[in-house]
Amino acid sequence: MKNTGNRNFTKVTIDNIVFDSTREGMRYKELKTLQQAGIIRNLAWHTKHQLELNDRPLLIRSERYPNGRKSSWTDDFSYEVRATVEVVAFDGVVDHRKAGWERVVEDVKGRDTYEERFKRGVFELLTGIQITVVH
């Protein structure tokens, strides 16, 4: 099955989940393996994030939506990874210790358009969450 629009990626289904591209499906397999190994946890995919500022939705106005429609951004993957903290002892020995868990949000890209970069930038600005782009 091909995507509509000007993209020409083949959708792929893995574990009854439809991904927009083979690259995204392969990334899912990698992350699933990392989760099974205990390196990451709470793997999620295609989470829709409403874009809001001060608890008010970011509205996109157009002829079709003169009062605006709520804007959202959907990630490809999100998960938590163990954060590390660098501890330097009095003798100068550096030790990397496990700290808490950090949230990671990923966007898998074959071709990165201006519109996609802009929407990610708005998401990062409004949420304070940095998106990791995987090529």
Residue 41 has pLDDT above 70, yes or no: yes
Domain boundaries, the chain: 40-134
Q: Is residue 115 classed exposed, middle or buried when 0-12, 13-18 and 19+ CB atoms within 10 A define those classes?
A: exposed
What are the pLDDT digits (tens) for 96-130?
777 889 999 999 998 889 989 998 999 999 999 99
Separation CA 70–CA 58 (nearest Å)? 6
> Percent of the chain at pLDDT above 90?
73
Residue 80 has pLDDT above 80, yes or no: yes
> Percent of the chain at pLDDT above 70?
94
CA gyration radius for the chain? Answer: 19
Contact 120, 94 (CB under 8 A): no
What are the pLDDT digits (tens) for 1-10?
444 454 567 9
pLDDT value of position 94? 79
Residue 76 has pLDDT above 80, yes or no: yes
56: confidence class by pLDDT, cuts 50, 70, 90: very high
Residue 71 has pLDDT above 80, yes or no: yes
pTM above 0.85, yes or no: no
Nearby residues of 3 by Cβ (< 8 Å), 6 or more positions away: 9, 11, 20
